[in-house]
Structure 1
Amino acid sequence: MSLKSQLAFALVSATASLGLLAAPAVAQETLIGKASFMENCAVCHGADGAGDGPVADLFAQKPGNLKHLAKNNNGVFPFSEVYQAIDGRREIKGHGSTEMPVWGGLFKEDSYAYTVHPGIKAEEIVQGRILALVYYLQGIQE
């Protein structure tokens, strides 16, 4: 992601946290989320999130179908739980302790290069990237 995209993303994230996010910005986050999903998640969870990525068969427990998160939660998308699963604060039993990378930590390392702008912290960029992924996953529910 370019510096300009990272800075814009951090601004969208900060705006969202203040409750000032407009609908078009959510659409932008969904596009960023899809790109991030394809880059970081699709290899295990599949391009459409169905759990059938190219390396899915290498795991003792096949990656879950991310399109059924709401369906498996009485029709309600578990926003907070998904966010915490991505950033590594929530353990996923099927992932064990090492199969799914803790993306929060990896995203933070990637973000340090973009914190040269005053007032933007790596943690804010990480939060924005994770929120974009969660919004994307929310959008692909069946």
Structure 2
Amino acid sequence: MIRTVVAFGAVGAMLVACAPERQVSGRALYMDYCASCHGLEGRGDGPAAAGLGKAPADLTGLAARNGGVFPRVHVMSVIDGYTRRDDRGSVMPELGAALQEGPLVRVDTGNGISTPTPVNLVALANYLERLQE
């Protein structure tokens, strides 16, 4: 097995994982689960956005709205649905179950505790970080 170590910039998160047999594509996950509402470039202008009661977030400004730092742990929590369980007004689906296929990787969420996290969730968050302006 190959061991991979990836540092997550200013958040200081650390990912240590055994490489999965097939490469996980954050872009492909985004196209499958997010682009219909958030649009191809993440601006909240996808074809399904017009039919929603609330406009989807512009995902290209997540870091800008967080003092220039990509809020990785918060983003993963929103995607998973964990932070929105009590938000009955949200139209965004909880993707936690959909992203659980594949191995778990350990992510330091900034509190010194390494948390097992689905590799697909991490890959999607990595892709969203690349969309930042």
Alignment-derived partner of residue 131 in structure 2: 140
The number of residue pairs the alignment matches comes to 111
Q: How does 1:1-142 map to 2 (within 5 A)?
A: 19-20=15-16, 32-91=25-84, 96-97=89-90, 99-108=91-100, 111=101, 124=104, 127-142=118-133
- Measured on the aligned residues, the alpha-carbon RMSD in Å equals 3.2
User: Could you list the runs of 4 or more consecutive aligned residues of structure 1 that deviate by over 3 angstroms after TM superposition?
Assistant: 14-21, 92-95
- Residues 82/95 of structure 1: CA separation in 2 closer, same or farther (3 Å cut): farther
Distance (Å, rounded) in 2 between the aligned partners of 1:76 and 1:68? 10
Offset of 1:18 from its aligned partner? 7.2
Give 5+ residue unaligned stretches, structure 2.
7-12, 18-22, 106-116
Query: Higher helix fraction: Structure 1 or Structure 2?
Result: 1
SS of residue paired to 1:67: helix
TM-score, normalized by length of structure 1?
Answer: 0.65
Offset of 1:19 from its aligned partner? 4.4
Offset of 1:105 from its aligned partner? 1.5
Alignment-derived partner of residue 25 in structure 1: none
Letter in 1 for 2:84: E
- Residues 66/43 of structure 1: CA separation in 2 closer, same or farther (3 Å cut): same
Letter in 2 for 1:61: K
Distance (Å, rounded) in 2 between the aligned partners of 1:69 and 1:93? 22
Query: Higher strand fraction: Structure 1 or Structure 2?
Result: 2
TM-score, normalized by length of structure 2?
Answer: 0.69
Highest relative contact order (Cα 8 Å, sep 6+), 1 or 2?
Answer: 1
Distance (Å, rounded) in 1 between the aligned partners of 2:92 and 2:51? 13
Q: Percent identity?
A: 35
